[in-house]
Amino acid sequence: MKKQLIVLLLLSIATTCFALTESFGPEYDEITTFFQGEDEPDALDAMWDSKSLLKIGVFDNGKGYDSYAQHACEIIRDKGIQGENVTVQVIDIKKLAHFEEWVVLGNAQCQ
């Protein structure tokens, strides 16, 4: 229960940073919603910084996040964004919430 409260508190702080984004269209919104949902338990939040940059917020548990970013590229292709040069950055959401630092844990270039 205590862990859930801490997670909710951190999410509420970090979500304010992620929430102030514009929509780039329904296919981009669908991808954001997918990573915010329960189908991707590692992802806590997601946002498109631009049509070519997706940021996914996670808690850093020390595992390699380049492979998770590559997995996100597969999801992006599956959801219909193909032929675009998209970069995925996996962000440490705890550092974002506490220090307002965008610490990149992993990244991938989607082709």
Going residue by residue through the chain, which has 111 residues, state the pLDDT in tens, using 9 for 90 and above: 445 444 545 555 454 444 555 677 889 999 999 999 898 888 999 999 999 999 999 999 888 899 999 999 999 999 888 767 999 999 999 888 888 888 999 999 998
Can you state the angle between helices 26-36 and 66-78, rounded to 10 degrees?
140
Q: Which of 77, 79, 102 is nearest to 91 (CA)?
A: 102
Question: Residue 4 and residue 59: Cα distance in Å, rounded?
Answer: 13
pTM of the full predicted structure?
0.79
CATH architecture classification, 2-110: 2-Layer Sandwich (3.30)
